Chain A
Amino acid sequence: MDTFLSALTIVSRWDVIAALIAGSVGGVIIGAIPGVGPAVAIAILLPATFGMEPIVGLTLLLGIYGSALFGGSIPSILINTPGTPVNALTTYDGFPMTKQGQAPRALGLSFGASFFGGIFAVIALVLLSPVLARVAPMFGSREIFLAAFLGCVLVVVAHRGQSLAAGALLMFGLFLNTIGMEANNYTRRFTLDLNFLDQGVNLIVVVLGLFAVSQAFVLLAGKDDMEAAPDIKGNVLGGVLEVFRHKRVATAGSLSGTIMGIIPGVGEFTSQFLSYSYARATSKAPGLFGKGSPEGLVASESANNSVPPAAMVPLLALGIPGEALTAMMLSVFYVHNVIPGPTLFRDHMDFVMALYICLALLNILALAFLLVATRPLLRVLVIPNRFLGMMILTLSFVGIYSLRNSAIDCMLAAAFGLLGVVLKRLNLPLVPIILGMVLGGIMEEKFRTSLPRIRSLYNWIDRPVAMVIFCLICIVLALHLWGLWRDWKGKRDGSVEH
């Protein structure tokens, strides 16, 4: 109880409240603009949050992360264009409902399911906190090394059909992390005799280049593809309340999102896939899926919105980010010399609890904002794409240049921006590069600190938690290989297209 009261004191500070409102409202607006998305917004805002206290900066970024998915469903439903990549599945049932004249109902269902998923995940995490507080200290260097390795394995196998490209990009990220002066022996690694590389490649520069600058280039090199949203006449609130008629689907979706969010490297797509498949398999009207099924909409939105709170678990408990957005948030901790990990749950439970309260509040704020502002929000859909690209490029400059006032950083970001353009155009994932950089750093450090206690290979897994993680790695790899074998067999029999 004392912890909860202490957390409430933190949340009631004016700067935290301001960050909460700015994050949740700003996130909804950013999500509603196709072509921006939370990754771009968080990358741009990241350097600005370095001057704020960790709780303020994280609340702002979490607000954007969590509520962008709410806003992202608006263009998905109304104009068949996902506001954020994660909202792609929402178009499957949302847009057909709009064509059937049920746009307000679809929007309401989507907002309600997002809210359900967000709150479900926060409640699950609050209930899980005592367990995490007990388990987290069991993670020593070996366990964190293995957990980071598991994250690497998962990020590769989660990209079905693109595992080889994902692996190559993950290793490229790992390589980028090794560039610069090596701290233990003071030797240079891959600096190519260029002085600016002695400090290494800055993660924020790579993040901004890959996510923000590349998106600006993609939009600038493309065409203005605006589509006016249809006017929505009707009651959105009715749709919100209708979610409770689909509570089984919403609960299953939220559970899937919570579990998948906790597992590093998996994220929204897998959770939505599982949730949607379950909803379709158990529905009384499976034929309606993809043609305007309310259950399909609830399944996808509840699953994707329960991921952001859950994704904070590996970050806070182990210091391991599960995807790109939490990797960006990790840098907020590092800048303030607050190291997330097992000790955070033990020593600063009030901070963790304050973050959970903020996560719950941002869901309430985002829903309230959408209920009153959906109609005026439709105006952002008519911003021309290339104008948006110009805006993102101008904003990216602030993010990169304010880090160290370095033109070289900007040049590097532009180079990563071009790489991002290529990857985005080819539908290849960007996230493995970021996770490779972050998890690579963690693995190298934990590998080194584990060594004094390692006498044989078996010592890596002779503790219970390490053994469990090792078994998980084996299971994930075995399942992946089995899946590949099934795909190959299916292709040979002609029963599987991919």
Chain B
Amino acid sequence: MSDDNAHDLSDLTHPPHHRAEIVFAVASFLVALLLAALWSTETRWIDGQPWSRQPGLWPLIAVVGMLVFGAGELIACLIRNLRRGGGDVAAELGLWLRAGEYVLWFMAYVLITPRLGYLPTTLVFTTLLAFRLGYRGHVLALAPLMGLLIVVAFKAFLAVRIPGGAVYDLLPQGLRNFLVLYL
């Protein structure tokens, strides 16, 4: 939230460069190289078929494009990093890694839902995540309430397809059917 009085439109048209872009540039170029190396084994070139109808044509265009633009991006990034600063690379990488923790939370949510059921998992997930984020008191209490609202809105009202949990099978038939359909 900058408090500058005067602005320059170039803030919008040329977003600031971060030195950590070099990590992205190197990684994307390496991915392009890897895909180029895999191209002949991962696509087929059918004998007797014109080049324009080959199934491998469009992956080839894409991979060559990634290589060309990726190499350009890598060179441009190196030049920009040599010319001027723009952020601490290690701190930025740390933030990317911090985001990785929430991938684990998300995947745990995904893998537990088919077993425990959508509503119970959501209630547990939102409460535990809110606790992990440091919320206490009324904000912590709001977390499962938010989870409940999401489940009711999407599964009961919008009827999105999320199957019931395996534990629902342990419940009486009527309750089980209700939970499978609505929660």
Interface of A toward B, CB cutoff 8 Å: 47-48, 51, 79-81, 88-89, 92, 96, 160-162, 164-165, 167-168, 170-172, 174-175, 177-178, 182, 184-185, 187-192, 213, 216-218, 220-221, 225, 227, 269, 272-273, 276-277, 290-291, 384, 386-387, 389-391, 393-398, 401-402, 405, 407, 410-411, 414, 417-418, 421-423, 425-428, 440, 444, 447-448, 451, 497-498
Interchain CA distance A171-B20 in the complex, whole Å: 22
Does B158 lie at the interface of the complex (its beta carbon under 8 Å from any beta carbon of A)? yes
- Enumerate B1-44 residues with CB–CB distance to A below 8 Å: 1-3, 5-18, 20-21, 24-25, 28, 32, 35, 38, 42-44
Q: Is the CB of B20 within 8 A of A426?
A: yes
User: How many pairs of A and B residues are in contact by the CB < 8 Å rule?
Assistant: 223
- Taken together as a complex, chains A and B put the C-alpha atoms of A274 and B130 apart, in Å, by 44
State how many residues of chain B have any CB contact under 8 Å with chain A. 84
Chain A residues near B16 (CB, 8 Å)? 427
The B interface, classified by DSSP as helix, strand, loop or mixed, is: helix
B98 A444 Cβ-Cβ under 8 A: no
Known contacts A172-B66, A387-B130, A498-B14; A187/B52 CB under 8 A: no
Q: Which residues of B contact A220 (CB under 8 A)?
A: 99, 102, 133
Measured between beta carbons, the chain B residues less than 8 angstroms from A391 are 146, 150
Question: A387 near B133 (CB under 8 angstroms)?
Answer: yes
**B residues less than 8 Å from A276 (CB atoms):** 9
**A-B CB contact pairs (8 Å), 15 listed:** A80-B2, A161-B13, A164-B76, A165-B25, A165-B73, A168-B32, A177-B58, A178-B62, A213-B106, A384-B135, A390-B146, A397-B110, A401-B110, A402-B162, A421-B99
Residues of A within 8 A of B15 (CB): 161-162, 427
Indicate which residue in B58, B96, B143, B159 contacts A425 across the interface (CB closer than 8 Å).
B96
C-alpha gap A272/B11 in the complex (Å): 13
List, in ascending order, chain B residues with CB within 8 A of A407's CB.
Answer: 110-111, 114
Residues B50-75 near A (CB distance < 8 A): 52-53, 55-56, 58-59, 61-63, 65-66, 68-70, 72-73
A161 to B18, CA, bound (A): 13
A428-B21 in contact given A160-B14, A410-B110 (Cβ < 8 Å): yes
Contacting pair A394 B160 (CB below 8 A): no
Selected contact of A51 from candidates B2, B18, B158, CB within 8 Å: B158
Q: Which of B2, B28, B49 has the most CB of A within 10 A?
A: B28
By beta carbon, the residue of chain B nearest A34 is B1
Given contacts A414-B103, A425-B95, contact A273 B12 (CB under 8 A): yes
Partner of A48, one of B63, B68, B154: B154
From B14, B17, B38, B125, contact of A190 by CB (8 A): B38
Question: In the bound complex, do residue B98 and residue A221 qualify as a contact, i.e. CB atoms below 8 Å apart?
Answer: yes
Residue of B nearest to A280 (CB): B9
CB of B129 closer than 8 Å to a CB of A: yes
Q: How distant is A331 from chain B, measured CB to nearest CB, in Å?
A: 16
Indicate whether A168 sits within 8 Å of B66 (C-beta atoms), given known contacts A89-B12, A273-B13, A394-B125: yes
Closest 9 CB pairs of A and B: A171-B65, A167-B69, A427-B15, A175-B62, A168-B69, A402-B160, A164-B73, A217-B99, A410-B110
